[in-house]
Amino acid sequence: MADALTPIAWKTKTVLDAHAHYYGGEPAEHFHRLIDLANFTKANLMAITPQMNDLVLARKRERPGKYFIFGNMDHDQEKIARGDGDYLVPQIERLMERGFDGIKCLEGKPSLRKEWMPHAFDHAYYRPFFACLTKNKIPITIHTSDPLDFWTDPAQAAAYRDYHPQEEYFRQAEAILERHPDLKINFAHFLYLSPQLERLERLFERYPVFSVDLAPGGEFLYYLSDDPARARAFFLRWQERILFGTDLSDKNALKHGRAKAEVLRLFLETGEVFHNPTAAAMGRPPEVGSNGRSEIQGLDLPQAALDRIMFANFEAWVSKEPKPAA
């Protein structure tokens, strides 16, 4: 399978991954190779813990001009208990001074809500945080919810029984938009709304600033394949609100990471019907989505839509070039 490890040939001149990670599990050199194999012009590395902030900053220093970085807040348990989030504002300012391009927020993930973050995003604790980001036009990617089937899959249902229902996470997403309509916010993983496409459409209509990214949670690949004509019309209509993203990380073997990019190339650029190559790259049988579908139908998007989704939307949202590391 040596031929599988050639760099991906994309249709767009620039490929900018809005949603990638360097976790620090593998050497930096492995990660840079992975990015080269996926053939990304640029990538946005998002820290999901405060400890990872230094790691993504180091990657940015190693390859100037290549990596945008989004930093993570260092939440304090005592301040959380008091519901006072003012201290987060200087943290944002410090990150911006150090060369961060935006903020990443993972604590809308159900497991983290249960483990250490009792507050919903519309709690007063978050108000100074979102107000600072809005005022300074700082972009943020938020993870809220998880895939629908995590609440029903027998292997995970025991844990998810103790979490809020999925609907609560959608309520919070809309509450953020309602309170901060000008916040430059991206919801990761298609906001897990592919099973409710009409609902995402209503949010796009009502709140004109936010976007969603395509980092799998691959459920959207299967749900959107149920009605490819409708999915294609959705992507054409909302082509300025969708960001290319892979969730590629240093933890991925080269073959696996390449497949995480390739599945989105097949989905966006081609009209092919295919199985998710990520499963094959890990030596597994074809993955089956929670709607029971294993075949994915490519959208065959026109070049203008590809250009927006693959890089121009991110450039308009964040910047054409990453900030220099301080």
Distances (CA, A) of 90 to 33, 157, 247: 35, 39, 28
Q: Which is nearer to Zn ion, 46 or 268 (CB)?
A: 46
Q: Which is nearer to Zn ion, 247 or 287 (CB)?
A: 247
Does 250 engage in binding with Zn ion (CB under 5 A)?
no
Q: Which residues, at least 6 apart from 69, have a Cβ–Cβ distance to it below 8 Å?
A: 44, 45, 46, 47, 56, 57, 59, 60, 99, 100, 101, 322
Q: Which residues, at least 6 apart from 314, have a Cβ–Cβ distance to it below 8 Å?
A: 16, 18, 44, 243, 244
- State which residue has the least CB distance to Zn ion: 247
Q: Which is nearer to Zn ion, 245 or 298 (CB)?
A: 245
Reference 127, options 188, 71, 76, 175; nearest CA is 175
The least CB distance from residue 51 to Zn ion, in Å, is: 16
Q: Which residue has the tokens 């300012």?
A: 93
Q: How far is CA 245 from the centre of its chain?
A: 6
First to last CA, the chain: 42
Rounded CA gap, 241 and 210, in Å? Answer: 7
The least CB distance from residue 247 to Zn ion, in Å, is: 4
Q: 223-242: which residues touch Zn ion (CB under 5 A)?
A: none
Q: Which is nearer to Zn ion, 35 or 132 (CB)?
A: 35
The least CB distance from residue 78 to Zn ion, in Å, is: 28
The least CB distance from residue 16 to Zn ion, in Å, is: 16
Window contacting Zn ion (CB under 5 A); options: 4-12, 52-60, 87-95, 247-255: 247-255
Q: 268-287: which residues touch Zn ion (CB under 5 A)?
A: none
Q: Which is nearer to Zn ion, 46 or 183 (CB)?
A: 46
The least CB distance from residue 257 to Zn ion, in Å, is: 13
Does 247 engage in binding with Zn ion (CB under 5 A)?
yes
Q: How many residues bind Zn ion (CB under 5 A)?
A: 1
Site string for Zn ion, 191-230 (x = CB under 5 A): ----------------------------------------
The least CB distance from residue 23 to Zn ion, in Å, is: 10
Identify the helix (H) or strand (E) that includes residue 168: helix 166-179
Does 17 engage in binding with Zn ion (CB under 5 A)?
no
Q: Are 12 and 261 in contact (CB under 8 A)?
A: no
Torsion of CA 229, 232, 233, 234, to 10 degrees: 120
Q: Which is nearer to Zn ion, 122 or 247 (CB)?
A: 247
The least CB distance from residue 108 to Zn ion, in Å, is: 12
Rounded CA gap, 86 and 79, in Å? Answer: 9
Q: Which residues, at least 6 apart from 161, have a Cβ–Cβ distance to it below 8 Å?
A: none
Q: Which is nearer to Zn ion, 125 or 220 (CB)?
A: 220
Q: Which is nearer to Zn ion, 109 or 232 (CB)?
A: 109
Sign of CA dihedral 147, 149, 150, 151: positive
| Residues in touch with Zn ion (CB under 5 A) | 247
